[in-house]
Amino acid sequence: MSTLHAIIIAIIEGITEFLPISSTGHMAIASAIMGDHGAFVELFEIVIQFGAILSVVVLYWRKFFDFKKISFYIKLIIAIIPALVFGALFKKHIDEMLEKPMIIAVIMLLGGIVLLFVDKWFQKPAIDSEDSITIK
């Protein structure tokens, strides 16, 4: 991995992390286009994503570390459970798909289309604050 490739991947991560698009997918496609493969590139992408996630925690530290509202943490843990179960059940298949840029591109395109429809369907949200989110 060259310095230029590292800078390009870092810029892609920085731009896409805060948008409702897949930063992982965009980095994987960019790495494939640049011909970068291997354990070092994967580790670099993981570390750079950890830094981006850490920046979100730093930005919202008051929200994350407000232990007066334990319901926030309960809701957060419950919301993560389906992703953990899905990831554990399909880890092998997910890893195989993340190695194929064409599959990543198709999934991101289909996901974008779904997001467009969901955005149209829910123009008047029923939930307008965290407190109105139930555990169910």
pLDDT at 81: 94
What 8-state DSSP symbol labels residue 67? T
- Number of structural domains in the chain: 1
Most confident of 30-39, 103-112, 120-129: 103-112
Say what the pTM is.
0.66
Name which of 118, 94, 89, 91 is nearest 25 in CA terms: 94
User: Residue 85 sits in which domain range?
Assistant: 3-132
Confidence of residue 80 (pLDDT cuts 50, 70, 90): very high
pLDDT at 83: 92
Name which of 2, 82, 86 is nearest 36 in CA terms: 2
Residue 35 has pLDDT above 90, yes or no: no
Please state the rounded mean pLDDT for residues 50-63: 84
- Residue 108: how many other CB atoms lie within 10 Å: 17
- Cα 61 to Cα 74: distance, rounded to the nearest angstrom: 17
